[in-house]
Structure 1
Amino acid sequence: MLTSQGFTDTTTSGVVGQASDLQLMPHSIEAEQGLLGAVIIDPAQMLEVSYLTAKDFYLRNNGYLYDAMWTLFRKHNGYDYVTIVEYLNSSGHLDDVGGAGALSDLIATTPTSYGAPEYAAIVYRHSISRQVIDQCRKSTQEAYKNVTSRSGDVLVSDALQRLAGIDTTKNVSNGPQPISTGVNQLLDRMEAIEQTGQVAGLQTGIRKLDAILGGFGEQKFYLLAGRPGMGKSALALQIACNVAQKGSGVLIFSLEMTADEISARLMSSLCGVPYDTFNKGNVGDNWKVILNAGARIAELPLEIDATPALKISTIRSISQKAMLSNQIGLVIIDHVGIAKPERSGGNPYQNASDKADAIMALPKQLGCPVLALSQLSRDVESRADKRPQLHDLRDSGKWEENADAVIFLYRDEFYNDDTDLRNMAEISIRKNRGGKRGIASVYANVATNRFCDLVTERTAL
């Protein structure tokens, strides 16, 4: 029979714990040998289990045998007892698997090729468990060694990154598909959009904006920029409220405002009571609508972290932990200019560039869209037409280059008291990777922090 030498390439040892409490790493010898016997009898089964690698096997010799069969299958679209023995002999691993007799015994004790996919799933599940144990062990060792070299949030972030690096999706592929499958899926999605009138991405709740962007795409990065006082935070909170009302969780990092300030803005937008009323205390007859708005906001799946000047590694760590317990559909960062760089000193431009790279990597690391707010440079103020342009983005050209979409907010009444565009804002999409650009003209009441479609506001009035 095959020998039982532990295949430990993905782990640091074959046991867990102290000498007084030894525990074998998760594995199933029966599943490994059942799988190998099945694919020896029927090489076509290899197509069903090809997501496995030699390192997924607990026993090293089983890994050698699987690797031999997979290599022969890729080269010759098949194999048999003779070619397997020859390959193992030429690669120097025939004795490692117990010799030709071990293969004969394996074939003799495997009555059928049935069950190969099920055996493979068991092997893969145990492989994932061993990788998790190994990565947690590494994090434990780092924690013991860490005294003053790194902050706790970096330590936690590194631990989560190790776990996030484990590929748990290798066995979900359906393999190559004819192009007709993709065409049919596309047509089905288009038909669903046609019937529901809803965009495919995460809806912002502002229809003109959704019509241009197609909603917020999964794992996409969106930059919302404008000069101070334009209402960026109010617009972002309006989007957060709209998304949460549809049932998707939203995590807000407010690096400037406190949690109660954010709550006041959200409640002001919802009930129509001016924001400054919440600070002056002159509520009058508005108590009932304010309390009702507060109750509705409190029930929404919104989470707020109002810690000032967070590092991006900390934002990533907090987001990853939040996603373990909640369904987070959108992360908002307000704003990127006051997020701390990972390292102090050095070239300011390089620090800003590194920070931009770290922030724009978050959507793929977290698996959801990220909306980040940014200030524009003062150059806008020197122009007659103060509508923002891409070159007005501050600190780093990385934002313009790598953001999936760049969104500018402009209110003409901020600069012109006699404008005809009172209570209106232009949400300008100046960059939209893979989509169209355009301007969404919307209702904007800064006093109540409310942004919405013009039709919606007229209906409400």
Structure 2
Amino acid sequence: MVRVDIQLTTIGASLVRSDERMLTGRNAAGRVWKTGFGGLDPLIGGGMRAGSLLLLAGPQGMGKSTFALQIARNNAATGRPVLYFSYEHDAEDISQKLLALEAGELDESDQVRMTNIRAIFDDLWVSSLERRLESVPGGVEALTRMERYADQLFVHRSTGSRTDLAAISQTIDSVRASTGTAPLVVVDYLQKVKSTQLDDESRSTEVVEGLKDLAIDTGAPVLAIAAADKTALRSGTRMRAADLRGSSALAYEADVVMVLNNKFDIVARHHLTYDLTNAERFKDWAVLTLEKNRFGRDGVVLQFRTRFDQGRYESEGVEVKEQLIDDRVFRE
């Protein structure tokens, strides 16, 4: 009996599969997951592509988890399954963030705050969640919105002592069996994944190579948050791909590397010196740099307004016009 490697294929077979996708209309929809952030998707080939590994990095407190969770919600809201490996937050905490996000987008009075949502969950008053949310502008409608996609967004409470690549793979298989399709995978965050290696460089290499293999094997994107070296976390400096912990392996394996920075910290000083109003305004904006992009132009810099008080980013991004400090990008 001849054993056939299931990973082995021919270009002819690949062409047949591509032709079948095009004839059935599943070509674009099946291969691309939109981030839902305006300005970003067209730059990375229409969205997050099947089999790709995307890294999202940034200084502490820059809203990396918020950005990733918003992408997860945007995809779950379209009916596609999402699997979120959370090493730092439990499902209830994530639920609170999603409610704040939904209510914030609905609230024209601009009164919704993350603190309001948390207070509702912590209040000792005995009542249903829907009744409690009546006190929040847009709260009940936010809950309704969230319930529409709640069963498509899977949260895995991950730990650095137990959740390794094998556990991630098994959970992906479980969700795929449950939903009938491969989920978008979000790992928050990469350096917390349990590893057999001891030093940071080797740990990062093992995990990032494993996540890239999982993306290819499952035929879905993997979006992983990446931590920075401590030396990159100084205030007033611009974090780059080279600052990632275990950067050589991360930069090589990833298809897309995105780095978030606070605009105030990285805008050229002359923009602040002559206009103090700008100084305060820039603090409310995040700058997203495409440090590496196998599906389009790298070096593109977009800005998004932050609404961390509502647990979200405003979704429309535009290219930054101001000069930024250290305008260099990673080159493979």
Q: Shared fold by TM > 0.5?
A: yes
- The answer for the alignment partner of 2:142 in structure 1 is 293
Contact 2:59-2:233 at 8 Å conserved across structures: no
Corresponding position: 1:234 with 2:66: yes
How has the CA–CA distance of structure 1 residues 382 and 347 changed in structure 2, closer, same or farther, with 3 Å as cutoff? Answer: closer
Secondary structure of the corresponding residue to residue 408 of structure 1: strand
Q: Residue 395 of structure 1: which of 246, 258, 283 is its match?
A: 246
Q: How does 1:248-287 map to 2 (within 5 A)?
A: 248-272=80-104, 273-281=112-120, 286-287=135-136
Contact 2:103-2:137 at 8 Å conserved across structures: no
Of the two, which has the highest radius of gyration? Answer: 1
Aligned-partner Cα distance in 1 for 2:301–2:42: 10
What is the total number of aligned residue pairs between the two structures? 278
How has the CA–CA distance of structure 1 residues 279 and 387 changed in structure 2, closer, same or farther, with 3 Å as cutoff? Answer: same
- The answer for the alignment partner of 1:319 in structure 2 is 172
Q: How does 1:60-209 map to 2 (within 5 A)?
A: 166=6, 173=13, 201-209=32-40
Secondary structure of the corresponding residue to residue 208 of structure 1: coil
Aligned-partner Cα distance in 2 for 1:302–1:174: 31
Secondary structure of the corresponding residue to residue 447 of structure 1: helix
Secondary structure of the corresponding residue to residue 256 of structure 1: coil
Contact 2:302-2:317 at 8 Å conserved across structures: no
With normalisation by structure 2, the TM-score equals 0.73
- State the structure with bigger RCO (CA 8 A, min sep 6), 1 or 2: 2
How has the CA–CA distance of structure 1 residues 414 and 242 changed in structure 2, closer, same or farther, with 3 Å as cutoff? Answer: farther
Secondary structure of the corresponding residue to residue 419 of structure 1: helix
Q: Residue 284 of structure 2: which of 423, 431, 446 is its match?
A: 423
- The answer for the alignment partner of 2:313 in structure 1 is 451
- Shift in Å, 1:302: 0.8
Contact 1:218-1:368 at 8 Å conserved across structures: yes
- The answer for the alignment partner of 1:433 in structure 2 is 294
CA distances 1:278-328 after superposition (whole Å, capped 9, x unpaired): 223477863473233223213211111113221111111111121112134
Aligned-partner Cα distance in 2 for 1:209–1:455: 7
How has the CA–CA distance of structure 1 residues 447 and 288 changed in structure 2, closer, same or farther, with 3 Å as cutoff? Answer: closer
One-letter amino acid of the structure 1 residue matched with residue 285 of structure 2 = M
- Shift in Å, 1:424: 1.8
Contact 2:33-2:49 at 8 Å conserved across structures: yes
- Shift in Å, 1:168: 10
Contact 1:251-1:328 at 8 Å conserved across structures: no
Q: How does 1:46-61 map to 2 (within 5 A)?
A: none
CA distances 1:172-220 after superposition (whole Å, capped 9, x unpaired): 92879xxxx99xx8xxx9xx99xxxx9x732111121112112101110
- Shift in Å, 1:228: 1.1
Aligned-partner Cα distance in 2 for 1:369–1:323: 14
How has the CA–CA distance of structure 1 residues 174 and 210 changed in structure 2, closer, same or farther, with 3 Å as cutoff? Answer: closer
Q: Residue 442 of structure 1: which of 304, 311, 332 is its match?
A: 304
Contact 1:356-1:396 at 8 Å conserved across structures: no
Aligned-partner Cα distance in 1 for 2:226–2:173: 23
How has the CA–CA distance of structure 1 residues 455 and 404 changed in structure 2, closer, same or farther, with 3 Å as cutoff? Answer: closer
One-letter amino acid of the structure 2 residue matched with residue 336 of structure 1 = L
Aligned-partner Cα distance in 2 for 1:245–1:202: 12
One-letter amino acid of the structure 2 residue matched with residue 261 of structure 1 = D
- Shift in Å, 1:446: 0.8
Aligned-partner Cα distance in 2 for 1:375–1:455: 23
Aligned-partner Cα distance in 2 for 1:394–1:239: 23
**Which moves more between the two structures, 250-259 or 413-422?**
413-422
Contact 2:264-2:283 at 8 Å conserved across structures: yes
Contact 1:230-1:414 at 8 Å conserved across structures: no
Identical columns (%): 24
Contact 2:182-2:219 at 8 Å conserved across structures: no
- Shift in Å, 1:334: 0.3
One-letter amino acid of the structure 1 residue matched with residue 176 of structure 2 = M
Aligned-partner Cα distance in 2 for 1:304–1:404: 24
- Shift in Å, 1:356: 2.2
Aligned-partner Cα distance in 2 for 1:402–1:422: 32
Aligned-partner Cα distance in 1 for 2:113–2:140: 14
Mark the runs of 5 or more structure 1 residues left unpaired by the alignment: 1-8, 10-53, 57-164, 457-461
Secondary structure of the corresponding residue to residue 310 of structure 2: coil
Secondary structure of the corresponding residue to residue 294 of structure 1: helix
CA distances 1:314-361 after superposition (whole Å, capped 9, x unpaired): 1111111211121344110001121110x26x5553233222221222
Secondary structure of the corresponding residue to residue 295 of structure 1: helix
- Shift in Å, 1:380: 2.7
- Shift in Å, 1:382: 4.1
- Shift in Å, 1:444: 1.6
One-letter amino acid of the structure 2 residue matched with residue 238 of structure 1 = Q
Contact 1:235-1:450 at 8 Å conserved across structures: yes
How has the CA–CA distance of structure 1 residues 329 and 307 changed in structure 2, closer, same or farther, with 3 Å as cutoff? Answer: closer
Secondary structure of the corresponding residue to residue 173 of structure 1: helix
Question: Cα RMSD (Å) of the superposition?
Answer: 3.4
Secondary structure of the corresponding residue to residue 340 of structure 1: coil
CA distances 1:103-126 after superposition (whole Å, capped 9, x unpaired): xxxxxxxxxxxxxxxxxxxxxxxx
- The answer for the alignment partner of 2:107 in structure 1 is none
